[in-house]
Amino acid sequence: MMASFGAVLFLGSIIFTCTANGFFVSSRKQMTSPVPNVPCMVEHCSSPMFKCVQDADCRHTMECMQSCGMKNHTCMYGCLNTYEDAVYDSFMNCIVDGHHCMKLEPPDPEFRCKPPAYYMKNFTLDQLIGSWYIVRGINPDYDCFDCQISTYAPDPASSNYTLTEKYDVTMLNGSIRHRMAVQQVQQRDPQNGGLLDYTDTLMGLTMYEKWQVIDYDITGQYAVVYYCGHMSDDWFYEGTLVYSKTPALRNIDIPTITNVLKTKVGLNFSKMCAPETKMCEQ
Ligand SMILES: *[C@@H]1O[C@H](CO)[C@@H](O)[C@H](O)[C@H]1NC(C)=O
Ligand SMILES: *[C@@H]1O[C@H](CO)[C@@H](O)[C@H](O)[C@H]1NC(C)=O
Ligand SMILES: *[C@@H]1O[C@H](CO)[C@@H](O)[C@H](O)[C@H]1NC(C)=O
Ligand SMILES: *[C@@H]1O[C@H](CO)[C@@H](O)[C@H](O)[C@H]1NC(C)=O
Ligand SMILES: *[C@@H]1O[C@H](CO)[C@@H](O)[C@H](O)[C@H]1NC(C)=O
């Protein structure tokens, strides 16, 4: 009896740690939808739940986020960056994507992407093959991690490509933790080659993104891409990235990139974040 009581209390704390992908958290007040369905979790996700209780890092993720008071995003990122692990991911995957026991609450349900009208028509996926540094980005929650190295390769099992994304996060004790995510990339229509579909599973949650290739250097030195992603019907996010084959952009390319960003995406190059790319593990 104590064990199951413990589990319910434990679930009680998870209910308000709706961490989604860990980038945003809804406070209890903002929750308009029904709270997570505890019987649903017990019925469908008891195995991943008990694995979480038994796993020190999964338990620490939950406890740490609760101790942040559920409102301080900086603090909560710190928790996820420090403790989030595969056990936590599979628990979140079960209760959110797998059985809809918990609905994701977007930070801003009104937010919708504003994709640029422009994309390249004549782009082909093989132009992305190889590794790229993310040298500029605009969305602080998604684009600006240090040491983001994106590697594209054809998927041997389909006509898709895979994107393996490496990035660094800072743990609560100041140490750097290396992270990795794998995405599936599909070109929808060769006539509109610059429109790409991405599917990503991060922290147990699935995200769908529509990318637009805005510019691709003919020598393969850099690329500029815009993306609009969503995690649920009303949770959208967008960003713009500059990819470079080398850790720093060549000076001669900067005026072109600045102009493309300004005229095609409406962004000011100087206002974009410039993640660390030089002191990175390969
Ligand atoms: C948020 O958490 C961080 C890290 O734990 C802490 O330094 C900061 O003071 C907190 N901010 C607020 C407003 O509580
Ligand atoms: C692809 O289209 C762009 C304009 O969208 C053009 O500048 C470029 O020359 C084209 N590339 C090829 C190989 O046709
Ligand atoms: C921070 O925590 C990690 C994981 O617990 C550990 O491996 C690392 O050595 C710690 N770093 C410092 C500076 O204490
Ligand atoms: C190919 O990629 C698309 C878009 O990410 C995805 O929906 C689809 O499931 C992928 N196909 C395979 C076989 O993985
Ligand atoms: C771009 O941003 C920089 C730095 O904030 C600013 O100095 C510059 O005037 C901006 N350029 C344009 C065209 O708005």
* Closest-approaching ligand to the CA atom of 271: 5
- 138 and 62 belong to one structural domain: no
- 93 and 219 belong to one structural domain: no
Predicted confidence band of residue 267 (pLDDT cuts 50, 70, 90): very high
**Rounded to two decimals, what is the model's pTM?**
0.84
Ligand 4 site, CB within 6 A? 158, 160, 184, 186, 197-199
Instruction: Tell me how many domains the chain contains.
Output: 2
User: Domain for residue 234, yes or no?
Assistant: yes
* Closest-approaching ligand to the CA atom of 263: 5
Q: Is the pLDDT of residue 165 over 90?
A: yes
Q: Whose CA is nearest to atom 4 of ligand 1?
A: 75
- 146 and 258 belong to one structural domain: yes
Q: From the CA of 208, give the closest atom in ligand 4.
A: 5
Structural domain harbouring 145: 125-271
Distance 122 CA to ligand 2 centre (A): 6
User: Domain for residue 116, yes or no?
Assistant: no
Q: Ligand 2: does its nearest atom lie under 6 Å from the Cβ of 260?
A: no
Q: What is the mean pLDDT of the chain?
A: 85
Q: pLDDT tens digits for 204-248? A: 889 999 999 999 999 999 999 999 999 888 889 999 999 999 999
Which residue has better confidence, 2 or 172?
172
Last residue of a domain, one of 98, 113, 144: 98
Predicted confidence band of residue 253 (pLDDT cuts 50, 70, 90): very high
State how far the Cα of 215 lies from the Cα of 153, in Å rounded to an integer: 20
- 141 and 223 belong to one structural domain: yes
Q: pLDDT tens digits for 33-91? A: 335 677 888 899 999 999 998 999 999 988 887 788 766 767 877 898 899 999 999 99
Distance 217 CA to ligand 2 centre (A): 10
User: Domain for residue 115, yes or no?
Assistant: no
Q: Which string of DSSP letters, residue by residue, matches the chain?
A: -HHHHHHHHHHHHHHT---TTSS----TTT--SPPP-HHHHHHHHHHHHHHHHH-HHHHHHHHHHHHTTTT-HHHHHHHHHHH--HHHHHHHIIIIIIT-SS----S-TT------S---SS--GGGG-EEEEEEEES-TTTT--EEEEEEEEE-TTSS-EEEEEEEEEE-TTS-EEEEEEEEEEEES-GGGTTEEEEEEEETTEEEEEEEEEEEE-TTSSEEEEEEEEEEETTEEEEEEEEEESSSS--GGGHHHHHHHIIIII---GGGSB----SS---
Q: Whose CA is nearest to atom 5 of ligand 3?
A: 82
Ligand 3 site, CB within 6 A? 171, 173-175
Q: What pLDDT is attached to residue 38?
A: 79
